[in-house]
Amino acid sequence: MSYPKIFLMSRWEINILNVIVSGGRDTYKPSEDTLLLASNISSLVVNADVVFDVGTGSGVLAILASKSDVYTVAIDISIDTLYDAYKNICRNNVDKNMDIILGDALESIRHEIDGVVVISNPPYLPGIHNLKDDHLYISGSQGIEVASKIAWWISKCPGGTGYIILSSYSNLELFRKILENLGLRYEIVDKMVLNGETLFLYKIEK
């Protein structure tokens, strides 16, 4: 299976729903998948006590969540990416209502939390990491590895809901089986059709 070629710029800047963010080669530039989740943010986090943005990248989703007056934690596995996210958070004046954490998915977050909403536009293309920038797009052999880590955490959480972007390129059948085995319910709450690809916004919960 082949995917569209992706060309990386050294520095970029973009406006997503009136939030201006910038980044470099180590930070994913928001695209259609970001917009699919971003356009739903305000309704998804309205009743949350805390929001975790997993794989925050530029921080744009975390910033939008924080602008809904919800305490938000931006998480990423890359320190260089978190540096870009921190600058964008400060630039958009939401730093007093946010924290940032360096970590792999939610591994550093305890499970005993109520009122949690997890949002994530993770890497979702299947493949092997051969190049330095592959981690921005490739999740693993099935394209669901990061999403599955989030699902496992939610299955252990007493009161949590997750909203995760996945692609028709991802192994969605396997992901749904994993959710069922974890005792999680799921539904597709929104989607976006592109040329040769469909993006899905999954809602998962107990």
Q: Mark residue 29 as left, alpha or beta (left: phi above 0; alpha: psi -120 to 50; beta: remaining).
A: beta
Which domains are assigned to the chain? Answer: 28-205 (3.40.50.150)
- pLDDT at 8 exceeding the cut of 80: no
Reported pTM: 0.91
- pLDDT at 76 exceeding the cut of 70: yes
- Token pair 């921005």: residue: 136
Is residue 126 within 8 A of residue 141, CB to CB? The reply is yes
Q: Please write the tens of the pLDDT for every residue from 46-66.
A: 999 999 999 999 999 999 999
